[in-house]
Structure 1
Amino acid sequence: MIGVFAGAAHRGDAADLAGLLGADAVVPDGPVKLALRGLWPRLDAAVLFLDAGSAVRLIAPLLRDRRRDPAVVCVDEHFVVALAGNADTFTRHVADLLNRTAVVTKGPSIDSVLDELVEQLDATADGDVEACFAAIEAGEEVVLRNPLNFPLPALPPNVVAAGEDATWVIVVDDRAASRKENVLRIVPRTLVVGVGSTRGASATSVGAALSELDAQGGLDLRAIKAFATADVKADEPGIVDAVEDWGFWHGDTAELLTFPTEELAEIGVPNPSSVVRNSMGTASVAEAAALRGARSLCHGGPVELAAEKFKRDNVTVAAARVLPRGRLALVGLGPGSAEERTPRAEAEIRRAAFVVGTPEALDAVGPILRAGTEVRHEGAGELAAAGAAVAFVALGTGPTLDGPVAADVVVVPGIG
């Protein structure tokens, strides 16, 4: 939700801007202070038709976390000023709509870049985040390890693939690791855990078996995206309760996927069981369900068995991994002027490590590119197929592809 707040003198201006911002924008009734406080927890962004001093005094008691506060800007006769949150892109957008001058910081802060990375990967950050941010902002060498090749946005030049003088290491991985000083781990949710059990197995037994994925399988349980089992086990109390317990302890939720045994019987697994086949009609529950669940979530991408089955106390668990693929965003820029671009188009451009397009299209998006972004005139499909995060930009409604690409493709159409 975007809140547009104004006193009586600027209510008309606020209503006009809300119309330009789209269906997510609202102009609350009543005094600005009360309306802002009431809507604050629900806001993604806020526009205040106030001078900067008054706006700062108004929002100061509401600010809690610079990485989670809404983007806040204020508008006066000549300027649109970024005040709080990750507001630079939004500030430029509002300034373009109102034909005013945007006042922003020198560029996105490092913490906002990494926060966006965590959000894009549906990940958990583990480590002293603030200290790592401070090291990057100070220009210290930081090593980034990305062994599974997740598509990452452009990062600052002092974040390197290898180095001997690094003060910090950032690791993007779903595998378990001992906690070390000066290591920031980013744990993407890539795993589907298959579970099978005898009738009446307790949640404690299921939980103990899950712990084997960490202790013996070397997987980080925070990387679990979903659980999976045979449909005949869908109401097994021990499995259902263990999934709920996992959500409670991790502050998150994971869906329990269920599949018919005849589907599971068709999936090849490394450890089939004749006993399970005779009792259930499929040679595998845990491994087959994990692979079947991962395939249901991968959008046509590759999957692999990340941990073969472990059996403990009449419970069997296994894990499959949804392997990362490159990302290709086909972004339409409209006629080319900034006010004709959508916020989503700008977001896709800024999350890319490579931006590809004609010289005219690249000139149009140059002001919003992150430092370190590589620009090219061709090869978008090849870059994405190699695992990179790519934005392919074009004036008008957007570019088209000549054929299929082995990558995740998103389309952000522009105005024709």
Structure 2
Amino acid sequence: MNIAKPESIAVFCLTPNGVRLAQRLQAQLPLSCFTSEKLLVPGFLPFNASFGATLREAFGRYSALVVIGSTGLTVRVIAPLIQDKLTDPAVVVIDERGQHAISLLSGHVGGANALTLRLAGLLGADPVITTATDVNQMAALDTLAAQLDAGMSDFRLAVKTVNQLLVSGQRVGLWWDEPLRDEPARCDTRGFVAVADLEALPELDALVCVSLRDRLPELPLLVYKLVPRRVVVGIGCRRGTSLALLTQLLERQLADQHFDPLALRAIGSVTLKKDELALQQLAQARRIPFELFSSDELRQHERRFPASEFVRATVGVGSVSQPVAWLMSAGKLVGDTLREQGITMTLGVSH
């Protein structure tokens, strides 16, 4: 999912007033600001041939695009580029006098609605947001997923169904699994019906369960499982280990701890393994980061775990998977370390 971050916002200015507005924003946020050669000021970048060409190029490079200019012009330029609400960048349009900030594209998952409110607040502009859940002052399933960094099977259909139920006045329950009970405090849950016990359900039309589990109890209604990405795995392995073997053992480790595969947030290893093809391929296949730690970093925590002199002679530290998982999860390890066929794997849960 594409969540707009301040450091990946590109701003496009078409007039002198637009440049002045962008300068006001740039004084408060880290932005990449683009304008024409004749309007160029210090700290700004020139258009590459034209506004349209530059905006089209930026569409695939930045998490968020802000156009200070016409909504119609912006729509005409980006229309051929729009593909998917889960991957398109946030697009916000601001009029050159700074009176209105309009959330145009990817309001929830892309973060355009949140960015619109932020920019409007900085400029003293009126935010214009038209998504149904926001207009009705309700949360949305895709917003909740973004806040939790969570995944879900058939996410697109689930978002469409749950958000439609919410804005139609239907009762959608929201249940949090025990390890995640602190999460609601930082999430927008307006419109959802709080559910404390799956064995004592109130009258509902559907239920969203926030859980890391691979299975939930059978329930007599429509259930959607939202899975926060919290599980990390430290991995040590021999040179030339196959992707098939790594995948098989990882799936077994997740299943043994009853974790949904969608809960996997990252894999990690020692820096010496940065070029290990199977580890790179595993991260790519799961679309998760591959985090690396130096031997010095791991050495600070190896006393907590059994050490292997063979491993020490090979990588400079007596243990890899356990201290890696320890660092990735801030010490929240789960289950036993797997040791098989020259591979070690240790799971942890981050927050």
Q: In structure 2, what is the equivalent of residue 156 of structure 1?
A: 190
Change (3 A) 1:131 1:290: farther
- Give unpaired runs (5+ residues) of structure 1: 325-416
- 1:251 and 2:287 equivalent? yes
Structure 1 residue 123 displacement after superposition: 3.3
Contact 2:69–2:96 at 8 Å: present in 1 too? yes
Question: Which of 8, 15, 18 lines up with 2:19 in the alignment?
Answer: 15
Letter in 2 for 1:133: N
Task: Say which SS state the counterpart of residue 171 (structure 1) adopts.
Answer: strand
Q: In structure 2, what is the equivalent of residue 126 of structure 1?
A: 153
Task: Say which SS state the counterpart of residue 306 (structure 1) adopts.
Answer: strand
Question: Which of 18, 28, 41 lines up with 2:35 in the alignment?
Answer: 28
Q: In structure 1, what is the equivalent of residue 60 of structure 2?
A: 41
Structure 1 residue 241 displacement after superposition: 3.1
In 2, Cα distance between the equivalents of 1:228 and 1:251? 13
Q: In structure 1, what is the equivalent of residue 10 of structure 2?
A: 2
Structure 1 residue 155 displacement after superposition: 0.8
Letter in 2 for 1:157: G
Task: Say which SS state the counterpart of residue 245 (structure 1) adopts.
Answer: helix
Task: Tell me which of the two structures has the higher relative contact order, counting C-alpha pairs closer than 8 angstroms and 6 or more residues apart.
Answer: 1
Structure 1 residue 107 displacement after superposition: 6.7
Q: Deviations over 1:284-328 (max 9, x none)?
A: xxx964542244235xx5x33322133444534331222x3xxxx
Q: In structure 2, what is the equivalent of residue 347 of structure 1?
A: none
Q: In structure 1, what is the equivalent of residue 338 of structure 2?
A: 310
Q: In structure 1, what is the equivalent of residue 134 of structure 2?
A: 108
Change (3 A) 1:140 1:264: same
Contact 1:141–1:167 at 8 Å: present in 2 too? yes
Q: In structure 1, what is the equivalent of residue 93 of structure 2?
A: 73
Q: Deviations over 1:198-239 (max 9, x none)?
A: 6765443333222211333322344334445578xx4498xx
Structure 1 residue 15 displacement after superposition: 0.9
- 1:175 and 2:213 equivalent? yes
Letter in 2 for 1:135: L
Change (3 A) 1:257 1:172: farther
Change (3 A) 1:58 1:80: farther
Q: In structure 1, what is the equivalent of residue 327 of structure 2?
A: 296
Percent identity reads 21
Structure 1 residue 267 displacement after superposition: 1.1
- 1:137 and 2:167 equivalent? yes
Contact 2:100–2:128 at 8 Å: present in 1 too? yes
- Give unpaired runs (5+ residues) of structure 2: 1-8, 37-48
Alignment root-mean-square deviation, CA: 4.0
Task: Say which SS state the counterpart of residue 289 (structure 2) adopts.
Answer: coil
TM-score between both structures, scaled by the size of structure 2: 0.67
In 2, Cα distance between the equivalents of 1:229 and 1:31? 45
TM-score between both structures, scaled by the size of structure 1: 0.58
In 1, Cα distance between the equivalents of 2:138 and 2:80? 22
Task: Say which SS state the counterpart of residue 126 (structure 1) adopts.
Answer: coil
Contact 2:18–2:69 at 8 Å: present in 1 too? yes
Task: Say which SS state the counterpart of residue 333 (structure 2) adopts.
Answer: strand
Q: In structure 2, what is the equivalent of residue 320 of structure 1?
A: 348
Contact 1:198–1:315 at 8 Å: present in 2 too? yes
**Matched residue count:** 301
Contact 1:191–1:319 at 8 Å: present in 2 too? yes
Contact 1:193–1:319 at 8 Å: present in 2 too? yes
